[in-house]
Amino acid sequence: MAELCPCGSTRAYDECCGPFHRGAEPPTPETLMRSRFAAFAKRDFAYVWKTLHADHAEKRDGASRDAWLTEIREGTKLLRYKKLRVLDVSEGPDAEGYHHVLFHVLVMRHRQDVSFAEDSRFLHDGEGWRYVAGTLLRNRELPKPIEALTFDTFWKAATR
């Protein structure tokens, strides 16, 4: 049996996020987002770095790739990225040109649930879609049920 993609698409990894991890460019902000989650799940942090936009805070501040990779490997060592749900996707760019994807990830640190939802902002840099920044809310801050979250209800909770 082919390995299922960690992004939850129910497709084979080799036909889903695998090609992006091997160098193809995801065609949309959502496919980029899914492939970044799959990279976290597979601990392919070189891909996570590659898909940060030049305007991402740490890249903009001149973080070195090697130092960043060491730090994220350390920082996520105890985390298990178990499940992704894409909840809402913007139809086009907002007033500042960002494309948005709202998603929830189930993350465990040992037996502690450290899951969160995030509104991620993406830009195309001429080569491909890249992650710029996100706003994150922990499970306890989220309106329930989580699968019914929209940009609207997420931001109502975020600005409460």
User: Which spans of this chain sit near Zn ion (rule: CB under 5 A)?
Assistant: 5, 7, 9, 16-17, 34, 38
Question: Is the CB of 34 or the CB of 121 nearer to Zn ion?
Answer: 34
Question: Is the CB of 34 or the CB of 36 nearer to Zn ion?
Answer: 34
Whether the CB-CB separation of 124 and 118 falls below 8 Å is answered with: no
Q: What is the largest CA-CA distance in the chain?
A: 47
Question: Is the CB of 39 or the CB of 142 nearer to Zn ion?
Answer: 39
Q: Which residues contact 120 (CB under 8 A, 6 or more apart)?
A: 29, 33, 100, 101, 102, 103, 131, 133, 134
Question: Is the CB of 11 or the CB of 124 nearer to Zn ion?
Answer: 11
Q: Measured from the CB of residue 22, what is the shortest distance to Zn ion in angstroms?
A: 13
The DSSP annotation for 108-142 comes to EETTEE--EEEEEEEEE-SSSEEEEEEEEEEGGGS
